[in-house]
């Protein structure tokens, strides 16, 4: 089955540590996105990538880093510079070709990160 | 710039009654409109979308949405609510156009739907 997989489902981080959240898709989608969701809140875009080896900052990129070395993978690193990292992190992917923008996003099931 | 607004943080409905979750949008061109649902500790699931054609769009779980171009609205509706419909609902818009950074989907802030037995 095609889909988008996030791991781990739950992650605990100590103060000052970097952690990496995994996002893998086998949908052959061009674009991938990372969102942060705080309790009861909407989605805030952290980073997105439209093509391999290229990515752009979203609205709240400070304290985060990403890479896109393969089309299928878009890992997110939460660095120690992110002062309030406890949140639910969602990865999404989409087709990004002219004429196919009517397709929406496919979301992963999320990773809940907690600072301990 | 694209934007989407969900004016209600929460909607409360009795089971069996009709429900409406409101959404308005702003784009400079033709919009692609989406509704997603999120259950606790889960990702967003696609419910339905409007691309073109019939203004009334039917989707999953008995939901439908009505596209109104003059009012720039895309309200989500269901004739008879179920307790299991309780969740967080997101409206989203993408502008028709070419391959560009503007092709990102913009999400509303979400509306929590609570259905009481």
Confidence category of residue B94, pLDDT binned at 50, 70, 90: confident
Question: Measured between CA atoms, how close is A85 to chain B, in angstroms?
Answer: 17
Pick among B49, B92, B98, B99 to test the A interface (most A CBs inside 10 A): B99
User: Do residues A45 and A55 touch, judged by C-beta distance below 8 A?
Assistant: no
Confidence category of residue B102, pLDDT binned at 50, 70, 90: very low
Instruction: Work out how many CB contacts closer than 8 A connect A with B.
Output: 61
Q: How far is CA B38 from CA A15, A109, B50, in A?
A: 30, 10, 19
* CA–CA separation, B64 and B78 (whole Å): 6
pLDDT exceeds 60 at position B61: yes
Name the nearest CA neighbour of A34 among A107, A112, A97.
A107
Confidence category of residue A108, pLDDT binned at 50, 70, 90: very high
Residue A82, helix vs strand vs coil: coil
Burial state string for A34-53 with b = 16 or more CB within 10 A and e = fewer than 16: bbbbeeeeebebbbbbbeee
Task: Give the nearest partner residue to A104 out of B42, B46, B110, using CB atoms.
Answer: B46
What average pLDDT does the segment A81-86 reach? 90
pLDDT exceeds 90 at position B116: yes
pLDDT, position B45:
94
Confidence category of residue A99, pLDDT binned at 50, 70, 90: low
* CA–CA separation, A101 and B114 (whole Å): 32
Name the nearest CA neighbour of B103 among A101, A99, A57.
A101
How many residues are there in chain B?
117
pLDDT exceeds 50 at position A22: yes
């Amino acid at each position: 089955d095609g889909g988008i997989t996030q791991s781990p489902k739950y992650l605990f981080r100590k103060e000052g540590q970097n952690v990496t959240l995994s996002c893998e898709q086998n949908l052959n989608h061009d674009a991938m996105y990372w969102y942060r969701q705080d309790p009861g809140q909407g989605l805030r875009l952290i980073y997105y990538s439209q093509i391999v080896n290229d990515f752009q900052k979203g609205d709240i990129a400070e304290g985060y880093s990403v890479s896109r070395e393969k089309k299928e993978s878009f890992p997110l690193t939460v660095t120690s510079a992110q002062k309030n990292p406890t949140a639910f992190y969602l990865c999404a992917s989409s087709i990004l070709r002219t004429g196919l923008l009517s397709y929406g996003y496919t979301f992963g099931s999320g990773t809940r990160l907690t600072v301990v | 710039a694209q934007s989407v607004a969900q004016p209600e943080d929460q909607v409360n409905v009795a089971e069996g009654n009709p429900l409406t979750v409101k959404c308005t949008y702003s784009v400079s061109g033709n919009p692609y409109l989406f509704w997603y649902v999120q259950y606790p500790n889960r990702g967003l699931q696609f419910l339905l979308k409007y691309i073109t054609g019939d203004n009334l769009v039917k989707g999953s779980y008995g939901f439908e949405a009505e596209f109104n171009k003059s009012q720039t609205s895309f309200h989500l509706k269901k004739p008879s609510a179920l307790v299991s419909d309780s969740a967080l609902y997101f409206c989203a818009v993408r502008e028709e156009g070419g391959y560009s950074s503007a092709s990102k989907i913009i999400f509303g802030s979400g509306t929590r739907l609570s259905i009481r037995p």
